[in-house]
Amino acid sequence: MPKTPPYSREFREEAVRLLRSSERTVPQLACELGCSPQSLRNWAKQVDVDEGQAAGLTSDEREELRRLRRENRILAEEREILRKAAAFFAKEGGTR
């Protein structure tokens, strides 16, 4: 079952906007918003990456990577099941 983030995308975007437009420090704003200072820093960094101002994977690229890893894991499990089934049926076919 997919995990939903505890903070909505809109909340995170608004938090970063407030951080950049106010004179408050990261710990002050995080305390006011009820999130951790590190989360706020991470959100700000991700916005920089998404806007092309910093190096790293964009949010869309991260989502695609997550999806591809999940798909790869499922395919590997299916391949393993098929390998075991083929071995089982090959063994059964030889005993008749």
Under 8 Å between Cβ of 26 and 40: yes
CA distance 15 to 46: 12
CA distance 29 to 15: 8
Q: Where are the domains of the chain?
A: 1-56, 57-96
Q: What's the pLDDT score for residue 95?
A: 59
The class of domain 1-56 in CATH terms is mainly alpha
Q: Give buried/exposed letters for 33-46 (b at 16+ CB in 10 A, else e).
A: bebeeebbeebbeb
Q: Can you count the helices (H) and strands (E) in the chain?
A: 4, 0
Residue-wise pLDDT tens digits, 1-19? 456 668 998 999 999 999 9
State the virtual CA torsion across 1, 83, 88, 93 in degrees, nearest 10: 140
Residue-wise pLDDT tens digits, 40-73? 999 999 999 999 999 999 999 999 999 999 999 9
